[in-house]
Amino acid sequence: MNHAADNIRILAASMVEKAKSGHPGGAMGGADFINVLYSEFLEYDPENPSWEGRDRFFLDPGHMAPMLYSELALIGKFTMDELKDLRQWGSPTTGHPELNVTRGIENTSGPLGQGHAYAVGAAIAAKFLAARTGNPVFEKETIYTYISDGGVEEEISQGAGRIAGFLGLNNLIMFYDSNDIQLSTECNAVTAENTAMKYEAWGWNVLEINGNDCEEIREALTTAKAEKKRPTLIIGKCIMGKGARKEDNSSYERNCKTHGAPLGGDAYKNTIVNLGADPENPFVIFDDVKELYAKRAHELKDIMATKYAEEETWAKSNPDKAVKIKSWFAGKTPDIDWKSIEQKEGNATRNASATVLGALAEQVENMICASADLSNSDKTDGFLKKTHAFANGDFSGAFFQAGVAELTMACCCIGMALHGGVIVACGTFFVFSDYMKPAVRMAALMEVPVKFIWTHDAFRVGEDGPTHEPVEQEAQIRLMERLKNHSGKNSMLVLRPADADETTEAWKLAIENTSSPTGLIFSRQNITKLPAGNDYSQTAKGAYIVAGSDEKPDVILVASGSEVSTLVAGAELLRKDGLKIRIVSAPSEGLFRTQSKEYQESIIPSGSKIFGMTAGLPVTLLGLVGTNGKIFGMESFGFSAPYKVLDEKLGFNGENVYNQVKAMF
C-alpha cells in the first residue's frame, strides 16, 4: 500500500514538474488516503461509470488535481501520456479537474469550499431517492469527499457542516487533509480553531488519525461506513509534500513552497529517487501497484454483481419505479400538464410561480425544492405546502430547508443535480443572488440544470430599502447568458416574465432546459396582465411582440418583467398623440439571440426607434435597445418607501414613459 501511495506521489510531482506549473505538495500528502479509498473502499463499476448507485468521490481542493489524476491513472481512467500532458491545450488533465463522470471526475473543483458542499447535496439526493423509490442501491451508496485547510476555512463549510450534521447524513464521509499548511502561510497564522470540536458540535462523528498511515485510514473508513446516524469527518494529519527533498537532499516536507510550484531541478530529482523511482523515467506504474489495482478490479466485479443482482430483484417487484429511475437519470423532461395550470389575473409573478410549483410538487415525483429561510416570501411554499421538509432520518419529503445560507444552498442543489436522478430548484431574494454567484458560475461551467428562483426583483421591494432592492443584479446575472459554455451554448438561461401567464411559460422553459442552469426572476408586487390575446407561447423566443401592438410602429418599446405593463400604460397615452407603438416583452435576451436573424429583425428591426425601460441599470437593456435608442433605468441604489411611492418618485409609470418617448421625437 505504501508503495502505491509513493507511486501517486511520484506521478503527481512529475506531472507538475513536466508542466512547469501546478501543485505538488498537497497531492503528495493526500496520496495515502486516496490510495486506500480507491483500492479498498470506493464501490463502482469500471465498465459502467455512470451507474446510478455508485459511490461518489467529490474533491474540494481542485489544486490537488495531480493526486486525483494519478489515482485515476491507477484505475485505468488516464494514460501516462495524458498525465504527461497536465495543463496543456486540449488535454483531459486540465489545471483543475473538470466534471467528467466517464473519466471518474464527479465535479469540477477549484473554488475552495464548493466541492464538499456538492457532496452534502449528493448525500441528500441519495437519501431522497432511497426514500422515494425504495431501491436498495441508493441506501447503500456512500458519498466521499476530500477537503483541505482552505475548504475548512471557507465560510461555506459552516453551512455544509451544519446541514450534514442536522440531517444526519451518515452516508457522507469527509476526509480532511489537515497538513497545517496553506497557500501563503502556515495555518496557525490565521486560525486557532478546534476543528474537531466544531464538527462535533454540528453533530458529526469525528475521527482523528495520522493521514499518512494506511492502517489508520483503513480503520477510520471502516468505522465511518458503519456509522448509522451521523456524517463522519476523518481528520487526517498529513505531511505536506510527503517524501519531498530539497536540492541538498534535506527534507522539503511541511513547506509552503511545495503548495503551488514544481519542486524544481535537483529537488525534484532527489525527491523521485527518495520515493524509489527513476527521475529519467518517472511516468510508470509499479508492477506491484498494478497488481494491487488488478485485484481491486476483480473485487469490484464481485461487488457489482451483488449490487446489480440486488437491484434487479428489487426492479422485478417494482417494474414501474425501475423504469422511472432510468428516465430520471437520463435527465428526461417530465410530463407536466401545463395547460391545467391556471393563473390568477394580475398576480405577482412570485405568486404565479407558487402556483406552478404547486403543480410541479404534485406532478414531478423526483423534484426537490429548497429555500434559504424565505419559503413564505420567495413563494417556494407553493411547493412546500404539497410536501414536507427533509428532517434528520426522514427524507420522505421533497423540500430542503437550507437555513440562511444561500451559497451553501446553491452548492447543495448543484450536488443533488450532479448526483443525478433529481430535478432541483432553490429560492431566495434576487438581491441575495450576490451570495450565490460563485455557485451559479460553477453550475454554468458544469452545465448543471439547477433552477434558481429569485424573487423581489426590483426596487419595488419598497419599505425594506436599498439593502434589499436589486438594481445591478439583473445586468450581472444576464452576463451569464452571454457567456458560452464548453458545449458552445449559452451558459445560463435567465427569464424575467412580464405577468402571471408568462410565468407559467418561463417555468416550462426552465423545466425543459436540462443542459444549463436557469435563473427565474419574479416580482414581489402584483402586475397588470398583458393585453388580451397575447400569445404567451412566444415567451420561448426570448422576446416577442405583445398583443395589441400597432403595425408599422413609430417606436418600439422594450422591457422585461413588470416594466412591460408600465410600457403598456405609457403606450395608451402615446397613442392619444397619434403615435404607433410596438411593445416587446423580452424575458430573456440570451434566448432571443439564439433565434434566427430574420426573427430578431422582425421583432426589433435595426434602425428603428427604440425605447427601453428597466428597473435595473440601463445597461441591462443595452443589447436590445442599442446605442441609438434610449433606456430609462435606475441610476442609483434604491430607496426605502412604499413601492407605489417609489414608482412615482423614480418615474416608473405610464406618464414618464410618455414623456421619455415624446422627447425622442
Please list the residues that pair with 174 across neighbouring strands: 145, 233
Q: Between 176 and 658, whose beta carbon lies closer to ligand TPP?
A: 176
Place of cell 498525465: 83
Neighbour tally for 127: CB within 10 Å: 25
Instruction: For residue 149, state whether it binds ligand TPP (rule: CB under 6 A).
Output: yes
Query: What residues between 116 and 155 interact with Mg ion by CB under 5 A?
Result: 148-149
Q: Is 35 helix (H, G, I), strand (E, B) or coil?
A: helix
Report the DSSP pairing between strands 544-545 and 581-585.
antiparallel
Instruction: For residue 61, state whether it binds ligand TPP (rule: CB under 6 A).
Output: yes
C-alpha cell at 508: 416550462
Contact by Cβ (8 Å): 581, 555: yes
Three-point CA angle 123, 129, 135, nearest 5°: 115
- Say what the alpha-carbon torsion angle 299, 305, 310, 315 is, to the nearest 10 degrees: 150
Three-point CA angle 106, 446, 477, nearest 5°: 145
Q: Is 24 helix (H, G, I), strand (E, B) or coil?
A: coil
Active-site annotation holder among 52, 82, 406, 563: 406
Give the separation between CA 616 and CA 621, rounded to whole angstroms.
9
Candidate residues 39, 108, 145, 182; the one interacting with ligand TPP per rule CB under 6 A = 182
Residue 242 has phi, psi (to 5 degrees) of -55, 125
Residue 406 annotated as catalytic: yes
Candidate residues 20, 50, 183, 226; the one interacting with ligand TPP per rule CB under 6 A = 183
Neighbour tally for 630: CB within 10 Å: 17
Based on C-alpha coordinates, what's the Rg of the chain? 27
Q: Between 71 and 149, whose beta carbon lies closer to Mg ion?
A: 149
Q: How far is the CB of 252 from Mg ion (least distance, A)?
A: 15
Give the separation between CA 40 and CA 498, rounded to whole angstroms.
55
Query: What residues between 23 and 52 interact with ligand TPP by CB under 6 A?
Result: 25-26
Candidate residues 150, 165, 570, 616; the one interacting with ligand TPP per rule CB under 6 A = 150
C-alpha cell at 352: 404565479
Q: How far is the CB of 149 from Mg ion (least distance, A)?
A: 4
HEC secondary structure over 339-392: HHCCCCCCCCHHHHHHHHHHHHHHHCCCEEEEECCCCCCCCCHHHHCCCCECEC
Q: How far is the CB of 406 from ligand TPP (least distance, A)?
A: 16
Q: Which amino acid is at 612?
A: G
**Binding-site partner at residue 259 among ligand TPP, Mg ion, none, CB < 5 to 8 Å by type:** ligand TPP
Q: Between 182 and 538, whose beta carbon lies closer to Mg ion?
A: 182
Q: How far is the CB of 111 from ligand TPP (least distance, A)?
A: 4
Q: Between 435 and 592, whose beta carbon lies closer to ligand TPP?
A: 435
Q: How far is the CB of 184 from ligand TPP (least distance, A)?
A: 7
Instruction: For residue 253, state whether it binds Mg ion (rule: CB under 5 A).
Output: no
Q: How far is the CB of 177 from Mg ion (least distance, A)?
A: 6
Instruction: For residue 259, state whether it binds ligand TPP (rule: CB under 6 A).
Output: yes
Q: How far is the CB of 124 from Mg ion (least distance, A)?
A: 27
Q: How far is the CB of 41 from Mg ion (least distance, A)?
A: 23
Instruction: For residue 240, state whether it binds ligand TPP (rule: CB under 6 A).
Output: yes
Stretch near ligand TPP under the rule CB under 6 A, chosen from 14-22, 143-151, 461-469, 475-483: 143-151
Question: E strands along 382-536, which residues?
Answer: 399-401, 423-429, 451-455, 493-495, 518-521
Closest-approach residue to Mg ion (CB): 149
Instruction: For residue 201, state whether it binds ligand TPP (rule: CB under 6 A).
Output: no
Instruction: For residue 349, state whether it binds Mg ion (rule: CB under 5 A).
Output: no
Q: How far is the CB of 500 from Mg ion (least distance, A)?
A: 52
Residue 177 has phi, psi (to 5 degrees) of -80, 90
Q: Between 22 and 397, whose beta carbon lies closer to ligand TPP?
A: 22
Give the separation between CA 265 and CA 588, rounded to whole angstroms.
54
Report the DSSP pairing between strands 451-455 and 205-210.
unpaired
Instruction: For residue 68, state whether it binds ligand TPP (rule: CB under 6 A).
Output: no
The DSSP code for 550 is P
**Binding-site partner at residue 183 among ligand TPP, Mg ion, none, CB < 5 to 8 Å by type:** ligand TPP
Closest-approach residue to ligand TPP (CB): 26
**Binding-site partner at residue 110 among ligand TPP, Mg ion, none, CB < 5 to 8 Å by type:** ligand TPP
List the one residue out of 399, 395, 396, 397 whose CA is nearest residue 380: 399
Q: Write the DSSP string, 150-200.
A: HHHHSTHHHHHHHHHHHHT-TTEEEEEEE-SB-SSSBGGGT----HHHHHH
Binding residue count for ligand TPP, defined by CB under 6 A: 16
Q: Between 148 and 560, whose beta carbon lies closer to ligand TPP?
A: 148
Q: Between 176 and 390, whose beta carbon lies closer to Mg ion?
A: 176
Q: Between 61 and 570, whose beta carbon lies closer to ligand TPP?
A: 61
Q: Between 209 and 650, whose beta carbon lies closer to Mg ion?
A: 209
C-alpha cell at 419: 448526483
Instruction: For residue 179, state whether it binds ligand TPP (rule: CB under 6 A).
Output: yes
Candidate residues 122, 124, 167, 181; the one interacting with ligand TPP per rule CB under 6 A = 181
Q: How far is the CB of 97 from ligand TPP (least distance, A)?
A: 12
Give the separation between CA 25 and CA 65, rounded to whole angstroms.
11
C-alpha cell at 120: 452534502
Q: How far is the CB of 152 from Mg ion (least distance, A)?
A: 9
Binding mask 93-132 for ligand TPP (x = CB under 6 A): -----------------xxx--------------------
Instruction: For residue 587, state whether it binds ligand TPP (rule: CB under 6 A).
Output: no
List the one residue out of 349, 422, 336 whose CA is nearest residue 379: 349
List the one residue out of 175, 141, 144 whose CA is nearest residue 303: 141
Candidate residues 148, 351, 523, 614; the one interacting with ligand TPP per rule CB under 6 A = 148
Q: Between 211 and 590, whose beta carbon lies closer to ligand TPP?
A: 211
Contact by Cβ (8 Å): 238, 64: no
Stretch near ligand TPP under the rule CB under 6 A, chosen from 43-51, 181-189, 344-352, 423-431: 181-189
Residues 6+ apart with CB under 8 A from 299: none
Q: How far does Cα 315 stand from its chain's mean position?
A: 31
Instruction: For residue 253, state whether it binds ligand TPP (rule: CB under 6 A).
Output: no
Query: What residues between 167 and 206 interact with Mg ion by CB under 5 A?
Result: 179, 181-182
Q: Between 253 and 502, whose beta carbon lies closer to ligand TPP?
A: 253
**Binding-site partner at residue 584 among Mg ion, ligand TPP, none, CB < 5 to 8 Å by type:** none
Residues 6+ apart with CB under 8 A from 163: 120, 402, 403, 405, 408, 412
Please list the residues that pair with 427 across neighbouring strands: 371, 453
Q: Between 10 and 617, whose beta carbon lies closer to ligand TPP?
A: 10
Active site residues: 406
**Contact residues: ligand TPP, CB under 6 A:** 25-26, 61, 63, 110-112, 148-150, 179, 181-183, 240, 259
**Contact residues: Mg ion, CB under 5 A:** 148-149, 179, 181-182
